[in-house]
Every structure is written in C-alpha cells, then in structure tokens.
Amino acid sequence: MQPQTDFDAETLGEYYAAVDLGSNSFHMVVVHVANGSVQIIGKVKQKVRLAAGLDKDMVLSKEAMQRGWDCLQTFAERLQDIPASNIRIVATATLRLAVNAQTFIDKAEKILHH
C-alpha cells in the first residue's frame, strides 16, 4: 500500500474565524472545518471597555480606541494564516453610535489586514 501523497481540500479542511467587537469585551473564535465536522481551535476574550470611552457627544476617546487596537493586534497574530474570506468581524452598539467610529475602523482594518 502506498502512502497518500495528495490531500484534497475536504481532508485538510479550512480554518475560519469570527471576531465580535463588543462594547465591553472583544471576542474571537477560530474553528477548523474538515470532513464535515467543526472543531473549535481557540477562543479569546479580552476586556477593552470600549463603551466606557464614549462621551455624552458620542465621541470615542483615544484611550478606548487604543485599548481596542491593542486587543486587535493580539487577534491579528492568530488570524494571520486564515484567508480574509474566512474571517467575519461584527461590531456592536458602541461602534455604531460613535461619531468617530470610522477612525477606529480604519486603523482596525490595517491591523487585521482585512
């Protein structure tokens, strides 16, 4: 019997990630999908307190943004080998409400290469 030297995509599977930019914490889940099964490879949760940096005028503070970017830098290290098409990122209320959210998002996209 000869060893199998060619692997199809179904056997090797693919990696996927979901990132949730929450108002209090950022979460990331990485999974491996192969042969019809899903295996959680890793979960990360980091408190960033983004909402705490939102003032009465709905401006997100530089300090809160920096906490978020620092967290995303950690996430980026784990996401570097996953194709961008296999990564989904969602944001909750704070980034939808902040008048300067685009500033945060622009730098976040650069950090995550997404």
Residue-wise pLDDT for 59-107, tens only, equals 999 999 999 999 999 999 999 999 999 999 999 899 999 999 999 999 9
Could you say which DSSP state residue 60 is in? B
Domains of the chain by range and CATH? 9-112 (3.30.420.40)
Model confidence at 6: pLDDT above 50 = no
- Distance (Å, whole) CA 17 – CA 114: 12
pLDDT at 113: 86
pLDDT band (50, 70, 90) for residue 22: very high
Kindly state the tokens that stand for 95.
Answer: 């980034």
- Distance (Å, whole) CA 96 – CA 25: 15
Q: Summarize pLDDT for 23-46 with one digit per residue, the tens.
A: 999 999 999 999 989 999 999 999
Model confidence at 9: pLDDT above 60 = no
Number of neighbouring beta carbons within 10 Å of residue 108:
24
